[in-house]
Amino acid sequence: MLARPLSLLALQMLGAFAGWWAGHWLGREHCAWWGGWFATMVWVVVDTVRARNVIDRLRAGRGLIHANPAQGSGPGGMWGDVLDRIVRCLRVQEQEIAECQSRLEHFLAAFQASPNGVVLLDVQQRIDWCNQRACVHFGLDAQRDIGQAISHLVRDPEFLTFLTDAHSGRELVMPARAQASQHPISLSVQAYPYAQGKWLLLSRDVTTDRRSQAMRREFLANVAHEIRTPLTVLSGFVETLQTLEPNKAERQRCLVWMEKQTLRMRHLVEDLLVLSSLEEQSVPTTRTRNDVRSLLDQVVADAHALSAGMGEEGKEAHQIDCIASAPVYLEGNTQELLSAMGNLVGNAVRYTPAGGSITVSAVLQDDGTLEFAVRDTGYGIAAEHIPRLTERFYRVDRGRSRSQGGTGLGLAIVAQIAHRHGATLGIDSTVGKGSTFKLVFPANLVYRGQDFHRSYNV
């Protein structure tokens, strides 16, 4: 800082000396003062030019930061230092702003990637920012609606009450406004205060949660109902046996009924346990290559036994045929495959009146898949029931299913097993004519006889 007054002083002295020297030669007085005055003026002019130069450069704004320092000469002197320091400060600031900007962009990108809707509201609950998911949930436009009060855009009365009551921290469940899919979407909305009066609005798609809660409730109600019915019958018979004094024949009849009801409950519990163990793991833990012929033999033997139980004097009530293509092996869990095939064959026997026929087949298709099919000439199923048959406890005819000892879980088990083996379940049926249930196993699980032996010899 001393350089500035010293340079002025030095120039003044130089001017005064030059004035004195000139006055000495010209024989004039006061020239030293004029010389000093002139030198001061020169200094002021140069200084002003330098200041002007600094102001001009500052006018360039941010361009000043990026200007090449080698371009054009600097103002020099103290003004040069001032300019240098300003430029350095601006560069530091610029770097900080760039870092903040990139951090902000990362935050916004993270909010965009969120599976939840995010809306930032100002103190007046006007939209500051929202992500794409929130646009879908609330029917907003991320560009057009910025600065708009959200209460003007989302008009559901429940949402408006929720907004006025946002401080309570409660959760609102409401339908989404813009439907991304054809199914209605349920949203869970919550509001959190931040930065003195601003609001963070979060929305989450809870459709699946709510649907599975409803399904769980319905499932429990069904289980309770299924167990209550045989229990009521059982307790009725127990009461009869206790209060009345039935003769031997009546007593025997009661015991037969009681056995039927206990059997029904046992089947129900067994089916429930099978279903829950199937749902525990998405793929079977043990897989082996099964001889399809032997699988067919086992399920068809069970079908013969079941049919014999339905006929008179132990005679089979149905004509049961079995068709199998050349030796084929199917990779999968033996117990599960037997359970799925057995369920379909069992249903065919139970839902075909005596005298009807049933054909069980396992045929290798041209594309390498294996089609296991059960055809019957039974009661058949009306088209509107077919899509719901694999739902738990869904029955076409409740009375008929119960009288046949059905639990309503058989086809749900078949569908689970098919899914675990990558197979598809197809149902074709005509009322009064009969039904065909097919399981098509993918080619990668199917081995022809010779392929099977070749792969086992390796």
Rounded to a whole number of angstroms, the minimum distance from the CB of residue 357 to ligand ADP is 13
Select the span of 8-16, 288-296, 305-313, 371-379 touching ligand ADP (CB under 6 A). Answer: 371-379
Options 401, 420, 423, 446; binder of ligand ADP; rule CB under 6 A? 401
349 binds ligand ADP (CB under 6 A): no
Structure tokens at 28: 């004039």
Under rule CB under 6 A, residue 347 binds ligand ADP = yes
Instruction: State the residue for tokens 């029917």.
Output: 139
Find the shortest distance in angstroms from Cβ 382 to ligand ADP.
Answer: 10
The full 3-state SS of 250-280, as one line of letters, equals HHHHHHHHHHHHHHHHHHHHHHHHHHHHHHH
Asked if 411 interacts with ligand ADP (CB under 6 A), we say: yes
Q: Determine, following the binding rule CB under 6 A, whether residue 408 of this chain makes contact with ligand ADP.
A: yes
Segment 423-452, which members bind ligand ADP (CB under 6 A)?
Answer: 435
Does residue 370 contact residue 343 with C-beta atoms inside 8 Å? Answer: no
Determine if 377 is a binding residue for ligand ADP (CB under 6 A).
no
Q: Which residue's entry shows tokens 């560009």?
A: 143
Q: Is 378 in the site for ligand ADP (CB under 6 A)?
A: yes
Q: Residue 260 CB, nearest distance to ligand ADP (Å)?
A: 15
- How far apart CA 31 and CA 42 sit, in angstroms, is 16
Choose the stretch contacting ligand ADP; rule: CB under 6 A; options: 38-46, 99-107, 399-407, 416-424: 399-407
Task: Check residue 260 for interaction with ligand ADP (CB under 6 A).
Answer: no
Q: What residues contact 274, with CB distance under 8 A and at least 6 apart?
A: 339, 409, 413
In the bound state with ligand ADP, the residue whose beta carbon lies nearer, of 199 and 379, is 379
Measure the N-to-C terminal CA separation of the chain; round to a whole number of Å: 93
In angstroms, rounded to a whole number, what is the distance separating the alpha carbons of residues 158 and 167?
Answer: 15
Taking CB under 6 A as the rule, does residue 356 contact ligand ADP? no
Q: Which residues, 6+ apart, have CB-to-CB distance to 7 below 8 Å?
A: 43, 77
Q: Minimum distance from CB of 125 to ligand ADP (Å)?
A: 52
302 neighbors 358 (Cβ within 8 angstroms): no
Q: For 372-418, give the DSSP string.
A: EEEEE-SS---GGGGGGTTSTT--SSHHHHHHTT--S-HHHHHHHHH
Question: Is position 290 an interface residue for ligand ADP (rule: CB under 6 A)?
Answer: no
- Residue 302 touches ligand ADP, criterion: CB under 6 A: no
How near is the Cβ of 206 to ligand ADP at its closest, in Å? 30
Residue 358 touching ligand ADP (CB under 6 A): no
Token output for 451: 């392929």
Tell me if 381 contacts ligand ADP by CB under 6 A.
yes
- Which of 138, 199, 379, 447 is close enough to bind ligand ADP by CB under 6 A? 379
- Segment (H or E) for 162: helix 157-164
Among 191, 300, 396, 417, binds ligand ADP (CB under 6 A): 396
For residue 370 the two structure tokens come to: 């294996």
Residues that bind ligand ADP (CB under 6 A): 343, 347-348, 351, 376, 378-379, 381, 389, 394-397, 401, 406-412, 435
